[in-house]
Amino acid sequence: MAAKLADEGRMSRAYAVALLVLIGVYVAGYSWSWGPMTWLVPTEVFPPEIPSAGQSITVAPGFVFLAMLCRMKTCLFFLFAGWIVVMTAFVYLFLPETKGLPIEQIGMVLGQHCSGKGL
């Protein structure tokens, strides 16, 4: 999109439709995968005493998106792609399976993870 708009300032109808379809695929994929993690991971990683503070830290970057988009243009999406790689590695390496466990046991599970060293 950046290359197309930088050259002409407008795009053909077919290109615009393809772009909308690809954006829809991206939004659907993100909504079914990483989208809910913004709300789920902080509630499991932070202790039960401070979930609201952890939640505010994880959603704060969303408030600066438009300012970043104006300054970084298309590089912002490459930044997000890099962060998705980092997040995937973090979840794979540092977060144990917690399905079916009550919130009170999460701290114990995280404490035993990574050879007993915790996070």
pTM above 0.75, yes or no: no
Handedness of CA 105, 106, 108, 114 (dihedral sign): positive
Q: How confident is the model at residue 86 (pLDDT cuts 50, 70, 90)?
A: very high
pLDDT tens track for 35-60: 887 777 777 777 778 878 878 887 78
Locate the domains of the chain by residue range.
33-112
Q: Calculate the alpha carbon distances from 47 to 37, 50, 62, 77, 107 in Å.
A: 17, 6, 23, 32, 7
